[in-house]
Structure 1
Amino acid sequence: MKKVERALISLTDKSGIEEFARALTDLGVEILSTGGTAKKMRDAGITVTDVSEFTGFPEMLNGRVKTRHQLVHGGILNQRENSDHQRQCKEHGIRDIDIVAVNLYAFEKTVADPDCSLADAIENIDIGGPTLLRASAKNFIDVTVIVDPVDNEQVLAE
């Protein structure tokens, strides 16, 4: 198995994230993250690189755009054994992202609340999370995808 260099972690359910991220950093893995997930890990003393720092492009539109960037998706989608992909990545400064740990906004829970407004419902439609998961699934040969914190230990064991 190739050495894991980088993990992107962006979670709604942050169960066990401190232990998982600490174990990854102990293995020399760089952690990329956004918003509340990054804050939770930093509060636990874990070194985190903001996705905006990684891409050189800020989060924008009140957090609606965080991870939709070529440096992120190129890092996930590039096939490590494809020499043309590797040439393009080198040319454009794209670095591999080997683990993607993402779970989606709790949309069903949000809209089940009788006090949920249309605006709240709209803001809980996840765009980046599903996109990251689909990109990771498309390149499952090279990228480990985690959607459930229960799987963190199994990933660490591998």
Structure 2
Amino acid sequence: RALISVSDKNGIVAFAQGLIEQGVEIISTGGTKHALDKAGIKTLSIEEVTGFPEMMDGRVKTLHPKIHGGLLGRRDLPSHTEAMETENIQPIDFVCVNLYPFKETIMKPDVEIAEAIENIDIGGPSMLRSAAKNHEFVTSVVDPSDYEEVLSELRQYGHTSLSFRQKLA
């Protein structure tokens, strides 16, 4: 399972298609889901996973135990796998997130404070930290230039290697 939520949509359709070809189910949010759906790529919405709608103009989407439990749950610890089973939390193996373009936004000479505030990312960094903390099992993908290498590892090994996950984390 992969969760894809990106501000930079460059290459995301091909990456998602490559994941699907390797048997990976895609969860996506807001604009990312719209872009993937438009390209004919079947995705699950965050709401389908959490049972809770995106809300507050997209400010609250991924901050949910069914997301972070799926990222942080250690698959080698019975206490974690039992909790995941009890709470119907499915593991998430890949997180593909690019953060909102805060720096670029605040560098604009005419930027309004409201626009700057809306470009402070909360969910993205939280998911990346969860994935990095559990890099033994979860692959963090931030940079579109890494998409092909992720897919190459998947095609070659059926998963990403621990050393590669450590590098990306």
Could you tell me the TM-score, scaled by structure 2's length? Answer: 0.89
Describe how 1:52-131 pairs up with structure 2 within 5 A. Answer: 52-131=47-126
- Answering whether residue 24 of structure 2 is matched by residue 8 of structure 1, we say no
Q: Equivalents in 2 of 1:76, 1:127: separation in Å?
A: 16
Amino acid at match of 2:61: K
Deviation at 1:68, TM superposition (A): 0.2
Structure 2 residue aligned with 1:3: none
**Paired residue for 2:161?**
none
In structure 2, what is the equivalent of residue 29 of structure 1? 24
- Deviations 1:102-142, CA, capped at 9 Å, x for gaps: 01000011111122111111111000010001000000000
Alignment RMSD (CA, Å): 0.7
3-state SS in 2 of match to 1:13:
coil
The match for 2:156 is none
Task: Give 1:14 shift.
Answer: 1.3
Q: Once the 2 structures are TM-superposed, how far is the Cα of residue 25 of structure 1 from its aligned partner? A: 1.1
CA distance in 1, matches of 2:31, 2:58: 11
